[in-house]
Structure 1
Amino acid sequence: MLDMDCDVLVIGGGVTGVAAATAAARNGANTILLESKPFLGGNATTGLCLHNFITRYGRQVVFGIAQEIVDRLIKMGGAVGHIPYGGFVHSVTPVDGELFRILSTELLDEAGVTVFLGVNVVGTVRDRGNVTGVQVAVKGGIRTIRAKTYIDASGDADVVAAAGANYTKGDRKTGKMQPVSMVLRCYGTNNKEIAQAIAVSTPAMATRADHPEPIPVYFNGAFSQWNDIIRENQIFPNEDHKVFFNTVWPNHINVNTSAVVGIDGTDPLSLSRATVELTKQVYRISQFLKENVPGFQNAYFVPSAFAGVRETRRIEGLYEITDEDVTIGRKFEDTIGQICFPVDIHDPDTGQASFYQIGDDGAFDIPFRALIPKGLQNILVAGRCVSATSFANGATRNMAPCLVMGQSAGVAAAMASQQNLTFTQLNIHKLQENLEEQGVYLGERSNKRVTHPTI
């Protein structure tokens, strides 16, 4: 029978949870990871890019486990590195989704993490400010898993919400959330033809060890030239619809353009309805592509296995990352990493994407306090449900920031469990030293950083 007690319990096996559990175990903690799906890797398994490692000014600020993943994927044939791009970001980091899933599994196994798949959180056990157990539904019944420290990497703050902590869902004024999408995976494509037909800017080009001729690995476009067909067949809810392509292969490409609005990703019925609609939608898109867009004429298509959710709950933390923090590129005394991907907002009503750049040097700090829920002492939240405004969440929710937050949370959780400390008692300077030793970039920590009361 599985030992249901551990030092660090990580809930969620997406990119955040993979980094968190790997880091916690590498730092000596007996670690268990829970994931509701039957596989690991989350949204990266769909083939989405790991946005974003390098600022718009060309300075890399994301390293650590995130960079280790890219380096190992390059050796596996599942990545091509950080490729310059002249669009809304300085560079892109495309990956192969299936190889990312395999590598995620290997990372956790190498670190000695106990992985528990097909698990759903149904409740928590709480003693005042401490979470003392997480109740999960598994085959055979309800089990309670207990840990010294916890990391909620569920994306939806499931554990923190179940423990009774406060959170915001969607926009504070309207309650609306960004639409959910499903990536369309296309095989047997001619990617050069596709880029020539639809790209609105110069594609990011890269080579592979097994394919030395440069191939387009990332570009964005719009379906404006087919507006009449789109309108007639009701393929999208708006004209001039934007589309994003990425790949690491010459003959396989991922298409990110679908959207269903008005969905609550924390409501299983709502999300199931969206998954049904998205599956039908991406099929219609696949037929449109095959019939109209050069390069897709000999392709076959596979929808992703699940819907991608951009926005649901965001915790009320000891600090909330604000709109201004992003727009001026604010730096903090308790930083645990940096974010350089621009704010990416998909309109809740139309699905149309807009981007807003980060100020100052093109990066802002992640303050440790934004990972600590108010009223709870032994749990951290990492990933897209950290404490941030809806606007700031447009940057924090992306996968490179999630990998950074995951690693930093894993190191902090291991330290707190070993020292029998709450997260507010943790020595932030020692945490930062450990993070820097393990490859996390914290910027130039100096007197110019904003100082806040001790956590």
Structure 2
Amino acid sequence: MAIETEFITKSWDIPLRASVDVAVIGGGSAGVAAASAAARNGASTILVERYGFLGGTSTAGMVGPFMTSYTPDGKRQLVAGLFQEVIDRMVAMGGAVDPSTTEAGSAWGSFIELGHANVTPFHVEALKMATLEMVCDSGAQIRFHTSFVDVIMDGERISDIVILDKAGLGLLRPKVVIDTSGDGDIAAKAGAPFEMGRREDGRMMPVTLFLTIGNVDDDRVVAWMREHEKLHPGERLFECIVKEARETGAWTLEREFLNIYREPTPGQWRVNTTRVQNVDGTNPDDLSRAEVESRRQVWDLIRFFRSHCPGLENVQLLATGSQVGVRETRHILGDYVLNGQDVLEGRKFEDGIAQCSYPIDIHDPQGPRGRLEGIHADHYEIPYRCLVPRQVSNLLVAGRPISADHEGAASARVIPPCYATGQAAGTAASLSLKQSVAPREVDIERLRKTLQEQGAVV
């Protein structure tokens, strides 16, 4: 028998908090870049963030290191601009390692070759400060502890954004909105079409709670890996130990190896190994279940590290993410949908606004393994049309939910492309106001030229 859902209706008087040129909703990687770019290009800009710090999944979720921002051979940087500026700020603090110095197959990249050269190890606290300084220096206003609630539409145009903060409900009145929520929340509320997960069945990649461990014997971990990669080429870190433990029942996680990354501080590593399946990151019940299950997995991991893994016998749990890391939810449908063949074949576009080379990296929505397939070219491009959602005239989308299918998004979802699409969206929003046109109608050559002049690679 179907359960009837109960509703109530209540009217609110919602005060106007601010009128701005550009409202950026979500202070993660794409949001930091979008707000900084919009403000630097002359638009009055407000950045809305639910936490008390910026960085999104890289800080609240502790997702790291940043994956590659270079060509597969490591000879040319593909994502620069505001992304490199954040790195430079962290390096100056002693809180990051520049990606130009990190090699494939090293401890910085969890000993993985494909797609794991030129990664950027960083400290979460350094990233919080670097992103904060960059946005503040740009002149953008930040509204912390503020959540997105809803949109008010005037035809196909967003006229107001409803927010919630400690003072209650409020309104923002922007001319252009940039959705950097990570899940396409604003686009979905505004009526933009989207797909969930993979097209054939809607299944999404699993979520992961990151953790940082300390008191690791770095040399012993590296020595174990170097010995075993000679005996078993292609084997991942501690894979044979995990396999044996699975047979005895000592390992139950849906992972077949340990995915851990050395951090700038000696003895400290970032762990990407927990896994919770069948989670819809837009469903609060699923997210709650994922938090409960993944935090239990964290302590199972700590016990396993201590009892089974050479070099990890004395590890201490230093920190866990404030939230699980979500790899996939909505794919907003834009004027172009980036697909897997675009990525693999290294396709270029007349309206390209970002260059990327990260492999198609799919964590299996139904099993312990996945697919890591490198591109067959120097790089591929993300076209501006992937940032322009259908059916909403004054909205741009940047970051994880840009217009891409399951395979295309499996490459474009990582942090460097999020910064690149964020910088492009913020720049385009400002240009659209200067040109008195909708974001969809921005002069593409002027956009690309502006991005190049400001350090981006297009």
- Could you say whether these structures have the same fold, taking a TM-score greater than 0.5 normalized by the shorter chain as the test? yes
- 1:421 paired residue number: 437
Structure 2 counterpart of 1:393: 409
Q: How many residues align?
A: 425
Q: Secondary structure at the match of 2:174?
A: strand
Extract unaligned runs of 5+ from structure 2: 1-14, 106-112
Question: Which one of 441, 448, 451 corresponds to residue 432 of structure 1?
Answer: 448
In structure 1, stretches of 5+ residues that fail to align are 203-218, 443-455
Report the Cα offset of residue 236 of structure 1: 3.3
Q: Is the 8 A contact 2:24 2:178 kept in 1?
A: yes
Letter in structure 2 aligned against 1:84 = E
Is the Cα–Cα contact under 8 Å of residues 242 and 353 in structure 1 kept in the other structure?
Answer: no
Q: In the TM superposition, what is the alpha-carbon distance from 1:232 to its structure 2 partner?
A: 4.2
- Return the offset for 1:173: 0.8
TM-score (norm 1): 0.89
Equivalent residue in structure 1 for 2:288, among 272, 283, 295: 272
Change (3 A) 1:201 1:417: farther
Alignment of 1:25-104 (within 5 A): 25-45=39-59, 46=62, 48-58=64-74, 59-82=76-99, 83-86=102-105, 87-89=113-115, 90-104=117-131
Which of 326, 333, 336 in structure 2 is aligned with 1:319?
Answer: 336
Note the alpha carbon deviations across 1:4-46, whole angstroms, 9 max, x for none: 1111100111111011111111111111111122321112221
Question: 1:335–1:367: 8 Å Cα contact kept in structure 2?
Answer: yes
Percent identity, aligned pairs only, is: 36
Aligned-partner SS, 2:269? strand
Please tell me the residue identity of whatever aligns with 2:403: S
Give me the whole-angstrom Cα distance separating, in 2, the residues matched to 1:334 and 1:107. Answer: 27
1:410 alignment partner in structure 2: 426
Establish whether residue 305 from structure 1 lines up as the match of residue 331 from structure 2: no
Determine if the alignment matches structure 1 residue 243 to structure 2 residue 259: yes
Check 1:289–1:95 CA distance in 2 against 1; reply closer, same or farther (3 A cut).
same
- Name the CA shift for 1:2/1:251 in 2 (closer, same or farther; >3 Å): farther
Tell me, in whole angstroms, the C-alpha distance in 1 between the residues paired with 2:392 and 2:252.
Answer: 43
Q: Secondary structure at the match of 1:28?
A: coil
Given the alignment, which residue of 357, 376, 400 partners 1:340? 357
Deviation track 1:134-164 (CA, whole Å, cap 9, x = no partner) reads 1122223221111011110011000000011
Q: Deviations over 1:217-267 (max 9, x none)?
A: xx9624322434345456434473352323122121111111000000001
Amino acid at match of 1:291: S
Higher strand share: 1
Secondary structure of residue in 2 paired with 1:91: coil
> Could you state the TM-score of these two structures normalised by the residue count of structure 2?
0.89
- Structure 1 residues 8 and 167, CA, compared in 2 at 3 Å: closer, same or farther? same
Q: Compute the displacement of 1:100 (Å).
A: 0.6
1:70-89 Cα offsets, whole Å, 9 max, x none, are 12211111111111214012
Q: 95-104 vs 10-19, which deviates more?
A: 95-104
Q: Paired residue for 1:126?
A: 153
2:311 to 295, 319, 328: 295
- In the other structure, the counterpart of 1:108 is 135
1:143 paired with 2:170, answer: yes
Q: Deviations over 1:56-115 (max 9, x none)?
A: 122221110111111221111111111121401233221112211111111111112211
SS at match of 2:342: helix
Matching residue's letter, 1:19: A
SS of match in other structure, 2:237? strand
Is 1:7–2:21 an aligned residue pair?
yes
Please give the secondary structure, in 1, of the residue aligned with 2:439: coil
Q: Is the 8 A contact 2:253 2:274 kept in 1?
A: no
Pairwise CA RMSD: 1.9
Q: Secondary structure at the match of 1:221?
A: coil
- Asked if 1 retains the 8 angstrom alpha-carbon contact of 2:63 and 2:325, the reply is no
Q: Is the 8 A contact 1:220 1:244 kept in 2?
A: no
Alignment counterpart, residue 374 of structure 1, candidates 390, 414, 417: 390
Distance 1:116 1:272 in 2: 26
Q: Secondary structure at the match of 1:380?
A: strand
Q: Taking structure 1 as reference, are residues 395 and 201 closer, same or farther at Cα in structure 2, changes over 3 Å only?
A: farther
Contact 2:65 2:261 in 1 (8 A): no
Cα distance in 2 for residues equivalent to 1:333 and 1:108: 30
Evaluate the alpha carbon distance shift between residue 294 and residue 287 of structure 1 in structure 2; reply closer, same or farther with a 3 A threshold. same
Q: Which residue of 2 aligns with 1:206?
A: none
- Structure 1 residue identity aligned to 2:104: Y
Moved more, 253-262 or 77-86: 77-86
Q: Contact conserved, 1:247 with 1:253, CA < 8 A, in 2?
A: yes
Give yes or no for contact 2:387–2:403 (8 Å, CA) kept in 1: yes
CA–CA distance in structure 2, aligned partners of residues 390 and 320 of structure 1: 10
Q: 1:227 touches 1:239 (CA, 8 Å); kept in 2?
A: no
For 2:132 and 2:457, locate their aligned partners in 1 and report how far apart those are by CA, in whole Å: 25
For residue 298 of structure 1, report the CA deviation from its aligned partner: 2.8
Please tell me whether the aligned partners of residues 162 and 169 of structure 2 are also in contact (alpha carbons under 8 angstroms): yes
Equivalent position SS for 2:337: coil
Deviations 1:122-142 (A, max 9, x none): 210111121111112222322
Q: Aligned with 1:424: secondary structure?
A: helix
In 2 relative to 1, CA 2–106 (structure 1 residues): closer, same or farther, beyond 3 Å? farther
Contact 1:169–1:314 at 8 Å: present in 2 too? yes
The one-letter amino acid paired with 1:293 is C
User: What SS does the aligned partner of 2:150 have?
Assistant: strand
